[in-house]
Structure 1
Amino acid sequence: MLLGCIGDDFTGSSDLGNTLRKAGMRVTQYVGVPKEPAAPEVEVGIVALKSRTVPVAKAVRLSLDAADWLLAQGCRQFFFKYCSTFDSTPEGNIGPVIDALTERLGADRAIVCPAFPAAGRTVYAGHLFVGDRLLSESGMENHPLTPMRDPDLRRWLAPQTRHPVGHVAAREVFAGAEAIAAGVSREVAAGRPLVVVDAIRDEDLLAIGRAARDHRLLTGGSGIALGLPANFRDEGLLAGVADDWSAAGAGPAVVLSGSCSTMTRSQVARYVAGHPALEIDPDDLADGRMTAALAAGWVRAHLADAPLVYTSADPDAVRAAQERHGRDAIAARIEGFFAELAREMVAAGVTGLVTAGGETSGAVVEGLALQALEIGPEIAPGVPAVRASGRPLWLALKSGNFGDADFFETALVALQGAGR
Structure 2
Amino acid sequence: MLIGVIADDFTGASDIANTLAKGVAPEGGLRTAQFAGVPNVSADPTLEAGVISLKSRSAPVDEAVADSLAALQWLRDQGCEQIIFKYCSTFDSTRAGNIGPVADALADALDAKGVLVCPAFPTTGRTVYQGHLFVFDRLLSESGMQHHPLTPMTDPDLRRWLGHQTKSKIGHLPLKSVLAGVHETKNILSTEMMKGSRFIVADAVTDDDLLALGETVAGRPLVTGGSGIALGLPRNLIQAGKAKGDGVQYAAVTGPEAILAGSCSGATRGQVALHAKNHPTLAIDVLGVMSGTVTVANLVAFIKANRGLAPLVYSSGTPEEVKDLQSKYGREAVSAKLDELFATTAQQLLKDGYRRIVVAGGETSGAVAKAIAEQLDASAMKIGPEIDPGVPILTLGTDQPVALALKSGNFGAEDFFAKALQMMEDSS
Using the size of structure 2 for normalisation, the TM-score is 0.95
2:412 corresponds to 1:407: no
Instruction: Give the aligned residue type for 2:385.
Output: P
In 2, distance between residues paired with 1:212 and 1:187? 14
Map 1:123-272 onto structure 2 (within 5 A): 123-241=128-246, 244-249=249-254, 251-272=255-276
Q: Is the 8 A contact 2:93 2:151 kept in 1?
A: yes
2:388 corresponds to 1:380: yes
Structure 1 residues 65 and 243: alpha-carbon distance in aligned structure 2, compared to 1, 3 A threshold: closer
Which residue does 1:349 correspond to in 2? 353
In 2, distance between residues paired with 1:163 and 1:66? 23
C-alpha offsets along residues 213-250 of structure 1, whole Å, 9 cap, x if unaligned? 1311000011011111121122111123166410112x
Structure 1 residues 284 and 257: alpha-carbon distance in aligned structure 2, compared to 1, 3 A threshold: same
Instruction: Give the aligned residue type for 2:415.
Output: D
Q: Is the 8 A contact 1:99 1:162 kept in 2?
A: no
Q: Is the 8 A contact 1:300 1:348 kept in 2?
A: no
In structure 1, runs of 5+ residues without a counterpart are none
Q: Is the 8 A contact 1:27 1:45 kept in 2?
A: yes
Which residue does 1:72 correspond to in 2? 77
Which residue does 1:16 correspond to in 2? 16
SS at the partner of 2:177? helix
In structure 2, runs of 5+ residues without a counterpart are 24-28
Structure 1 residues 40 and 403: alpha-carbon distance in aligned structure 2, compared to 1, 3 A threshold: same
Which residue does 1:333 correspond to in 2? 337
Measured after TM superposition, the shift of residue 304 of structure 1 is: 2.4
Q: Is the 8 A contact 2:21 2:247 kept in 1?
A: no
Identical-pair percentage: 50
Moved over 4 A (4+): none
Q: Is the 8 A contact 1:109 1:217 kept in 2?
A: no
Of 294-303 and 80-89, deviating more is 294-303
Measured after TM superposition, the shift of residue 344 of structure 1 is: 1.3
Which residue, out of 298, 301, 307, partners 2:305? 301
Structure 1 residues 411 and 64: alpha-carbon distance in aligned structure 2, compared to 1, 3 A threshold: same
Measured after TM superposition, the shift of residue 153 of structure 1 is: 0.8
Which residue, out of 279, 284, 287, partners 2:288? 284
Q: Is the 8 A contact 1:4 1:46 kept in 2?
A: yes
Measured after TM superposition, the shift of residue 383 of structure 1 is: 0.5
Which residue, out of 317, 320, 328, partners 1:316? 320
In 2, distance between residues paired with 1:352 and 1:237? 34
In 1, distance between residues paired with 2:278 and 2:382? 31
In 2, distance between residues paired with 1:58 and 1:293? 33
SS at the partner of 2:231? helix
Q: Is the 8 A contact 1:336 1:363 kept in 2?
A: yes
In 1, distance between residues paired with 2:189 and 2:283? 48
SS at the partner of 2:358? strand
In 1, distance between residues paired with 2:259 and 2:144? 23
Measured after TM superposition, the shift of residue 166 of structure 1 is: 1.3
C-alpha offsets along residues 188-223 of structure 1, whole Å, 9 cap, x if unaligned? 211221111000000000000111013110000110
Q: Is the 8 A contact 2:386 2:392 kept in 1?
A: yes
Measured after TM superposition, the shift of residue 417 of structure 1 is: 7.2
Measured after TM superposition, the shift of residue 389 of structure 1 is: 3.0
Of 15-24 and 356-365, deviating more is 15-24
C-alpha offsets along residues 118-167 of structure 1, whole Å, 9 cap, x if unaligned? 11110111111111111111111111111111111111111111212111
In 2, distance between residues paired with 1:2 and 1:313? 41
Instruction: Give the aligned residue type for 2:5.
Output: C
Structure 1 residues 376 and 50: alpha-carbon distance in aligned structure 2, compared to 1, 3 A threshold: same
Instruction: Give the aligned residue type for 2:16.
Output: L
Instruction: Give the aligned residue type for 1:414.
Output: M
Q: Is the 8 A contact 2:81 2:219 kept in 1?
A: no
Q: Is the 8 A contact 1:112 1:220 kept in 2?
A: yes
Instruction: Give the aligned residue type for 2:219.
Output: D
Instruction: Give the aligned residue type for 2:58.
Output: T
Q: Is the 8 A contact 1:33 1:69 kept in 2?
A: yes
SS at the partner of 2:264? coil
Which residue does 2:369 correspond to in 1? 365
Which residue does 1:101 correspond to in 2? 106
Instruction: Give the aligned residue type for 2:72.
Output: A
In 1, distance between residues paired with 2:94 and 2:189? 25
Structure 1 residues 274 and 417: alpha-carbon distance in aligned structure 2, compared to 1, 3 A threshold: farther
Structure 1 residues 206 and 270: alpha-carbon distance in aligned structure 2, compared to 1, 3 A threshold: same
Of 153-162 and 215-224, deviating more is 153-162
Which residue does 1:6 correspond to in 2? 6
Q: Is the 8 A contact 1:260 1:312 kept in 2?
A: yes
In 1, distance between residues paired with 2:247 and 2:151? 39
C-alpha offsets along residues 271-310 of structure 1, whole Å, 9 cap, x if unaligned? 1111111111221111112111222122211122111010
Which residue does 1:395 correspond to in 2? 404
